[in-house]
Amino acid sequence: MPVRISVDAMGGDFGPSVVVAAVKASLAANSDVTALLYGDRDILASEIGDDLDAELKSRLEVRHSPSLVDADDKPSVVVRSKGDSSMALAIRAIADGEADACISAGNTGALMALSLFNLGTLSGISRPAICSEIPTDNGPCLLLDLGANLDCSAAQLSQFATLGSLTAQKLLGISMPSVGLLNVGSEASKGNGLIQATAELLEADPSINYQGFVEGDGIFQAVADVIVCDGFSGNVALKAGEGVAKLINRRISEFCLGNWWLRLVSLLMGNRLLQLKSSIQPSLFNGAYLLGLNGVVVKSHGAADILGFTAGLDTAIKAARHQLPSILSPILKKNNY
């Protein structure tokens, strides 16, 4: 199905220089995708250039935004005074039916606040959660929340479990996804009051295939298809995992540039080393869903390079093709959420 993506072209550490290049690459790889680029028209025109293929150019529209959201802007201030920003207008395009999904690498708090203000939440969902696919020994698992809600109630964590389970069914094709709750130990007695209360709710929910507690190392060992946690714990776990992946990649590069016999070994291993590096490259897993919104909004890592932002666009396109909110909404209503 044709997909139109609205893009906050001014967000992230690198702004338009990375975003525009990634959008070009994404449009070239997806002939049925069109993009609305929001930002400073002069800067975007310069980044797009004059040599863009006519067919690609026909699927790329620039829309000027007078302001942008800064990294240190408070969400409440953004909602009140920056409705003309590239981020706000990109989200508004979904509410107005002009786009099927939105992506931004900008201020996470502002993105969440603007999304809630313009789109609202699905039935029975009090707060959206940031959800990402995490590589494991047996395909991806979904981890949520990754930073949208630093303090959560047991009811909210239970809602995240429902959202994650339904999303795993629809996007990952798992008929009855296993759900785990991130904890400091796997024993039933472990965890604080919040974790224990959440476990009781999940155990009593027949729609959730709850499998118990998951320790931090279990995130990457495919012990569950969906892992639920509060935003503080999830963000720390995600960033720690990214740090380890980058360390391994650096060590592999150092190995390949070592003395002559190490270079010979790396040359003989060739594609196997490249495959290893690619399999744990954090940028290839960029793009997190803001699950629970009445629309598809994807958060890209602020430091994403061209490869990373292109992966984020792939995530947004995937969710838009599946019409994720439209699928989740009737299921939530049917289950009296």
Q: Is residue 333 part of a domain?
A: no
Reported as a single tens digit per residue, the pLDDT across 98-113 is 999 999 999 999 999 9
Q: Is residue 178 part of a domain?
A: yes
Average pLDDT, integer, range 56-63: 93
Instruction: Evaluate if residue 21 carries a pLDDT over 80.
Output: yes
221 pLDDT band, cuts 50/70/90, is: confident
Q: Which residue has the higher pLDDT, 282 or 277?
A: 282
- Alpha-carbon distances of 51 from 24, 35, 36, 62, 286, rounded to whole Å: 12, 18, 19, 16, 29
Nearest CA among 183, 185, 174 for reference residue 234: 183
Instruction: Evaluate if residue 22 carries a pLDDT over 90.
Output: yes
Q: Looking at residue 335, what is its pLDDT?
A: 63
Q: Looking at residue 267, what is its pLDDT?
A: 55
Same domain, 245 and 296: no
- Range scoring the smallest mean pLDDT among 17-21, 59-63, 278-282: 278-282
**How far apart, in whole angstroms, are the C-alpha atoms of residue 161 and residue 156?**
9
CATH of the domain at 91: 3.40.718.10
Same domain, 8 and 59: yes
Q: Is residue 337 part of a domain?
A: no
- Alpha-carbon distances of 271 from 260, 275, 276, rounded to whole Å: 19, 6, 8
- What stretches of the chain show up as alpha helix (H) in DSSP? 16-29, 41-48, 54-57, 75-81, 86-95, 108-119, 154-171, 193-203, 231-256, 260-269, 271-279, 306-321, 324-334
Q: Is residue 96 part of a domain?
A: yes
Reported as a single tens digit per residue, the pLDDT across 147-190 is 888 899 999 999 999 999 999 998 899 999 999 999 998 888 89
Q: Looking at residue 132, what is its pLDDT?
A: 92
**How far apart, in whole angstroms, are the C-alpha atoms of residue 310 and residue 301?**
11
**How far apart, in whole angstroms, are the C-alpha atoms of residue 2 and residue 30?**
10
Same domain, 112 and 85: yes
**How far apart, in whole angstroms, are the C-alpha atoms of residue 111 and residue 73?**
11
Largest CA distance in the chain: 66
Report how many domains make up the chain.
2
Asked if 101 contacts 320 with a C-beta cutoff of 8 angstroms, the reply is yes
Same domain, 239 and 167: yes
Same domain, 130 and 200: yes
Q: Is residue 160 part of a domain?
A: yes
Average pLDDT, integer, range 126-152: 89
Q: Is residue 43 part of a domain?
A: yes
Same domain, 167 and 143: yes
Instruction: Evaluate if residue 337 carries a pLDDT over 60.
Output: no
Q: Looking at residue 257, what is its pLDDT?
A: 62
Average pLDDT, integer, range 11-35: 95
Q: Is residue 274 part of a domain?
A: yes
Same domain, 192 and 265: yes
Q: Looking at residue 327, what is its pLDDT?
A: 82
Q: Looking at residue 324, what is its pLDDT?
A: 84
Structure tokens at 268: 């003989």
Asked, as a colleague might, if the bond just before 205 is cis with ω within 30 of 0, I would say: no
Q: Is residue 331 part of a domain?
A: no
Same domain, 297 and 263: no
Instruction: Evaluate if residue 293 carries a pLDDT over 80.
Output: yes
Same domain, 258 and 135: yes
In which domain, by residue range, is 172 found? 126-284
Reported as a single tens digit per residue, the pLDDT across 71-83 is 999 999 999 999 9
Average pLDDT, integer, range 306-330: 90
What mean pLDDT is reported for the chain?
A: 88
Q: Which phi and psi angles does 55 have, rounded to 5°?
A: -65, -40
Same domain, 133 and 71: no
Same domain, 66 and 107: yes
User: Would strands 209-214 and 178-182 be described as parallel, antiparallel, or unpaired?
Assistant: parallel
Instruction: Evaluate if residue 326 carries a pLDDT over 70.
Output: yes
Same domain, 37 and 86: yes
Average pLDDT, integer, range 305-330: 90
